[in-house]
Amino acid sequence: MSIDVRSESNGPAVKAFVEFVDAMHAWETRNYSVIAPLLEKRKVAMKEMDDARGELARIFEKHLVPGRCDRRRMDSNGIGYPPTYDADRDVIKLEKAVSGEVTFRYVQATRPKSKLRFTVKRVADGWRVHNGEIFDARRSKWLTFVV
């Protein structure tokens, strides 16, 4: 079932996931517009990249289950165009919901149309992203996805 990500009637797990997607979209869009022009001019963008990492760390702290998810995006600039996440562009479907855990299928509308899967879990302070996976069509299996 495809989700209307902007519906007021969405439950807390959907809202938490969409907030994460929106935060990541805003982070990548904002930082791409600052860092990419510097890199194209072969200028060192260390301060800008450090600022972007700090902002990303705050997003992860707020939206990810501590100690979960592949956070290697912190080790590189991890910023591109088009952005990895865009709730208004991409298709988000509810795949499975069980007590305290909801899994979403996330299909990017850009090329390649990557198929992602995210599990959101209820924790003490609300709902947070527990893990992300990407489907590898060559091997027909889900692999860990760098959020």
Residue 3 lies in a domain: no
Q: Count of domains in the chain? A: 1
Residue 112: which domain range? 12-144
Residue 5 lies in a domain: no
What pLDDT score was predicted for residue 98?
Answer: 92
What pLDDT score was predicted for residue 34?
Answer: 87
Q: Which residues of the chain have pLDDT under 70?
A: 1-2, 44, 72, 76-77
Q: Distance between CA atoms of 23 and 59, rounded to whole angstroms? A: 7
Q: Distance between CA atoms of 74 and 9, rounded to whole angstroms? A: 34
What pLDDT score was predicted for residue 44?
Answer: 66
Following DSSP, what letter does each residue of the chain receive, concatenated? -B--TT-TT--HHHHHHHHHHHHHHHHHHHHHHHHHHHHHTT---HHHHHHHHHHHHHHHHHHB-TT-SB-GGGGS----SS-S--TTTSEEEEEEEETTEEEEEEE-SSSS--EEEEEEEEETTEEEEEEEEEEETTTTEEEE-B-
What pLDDT score was predicted for residue 81?
Answer: 84
Residue 73 lies in a domain: yes
Residue 79 lies in a domain: yes
User: What CATH number is associated with residue 64?
Assistant: 3.10.450
pTM for this prediction: 0.89
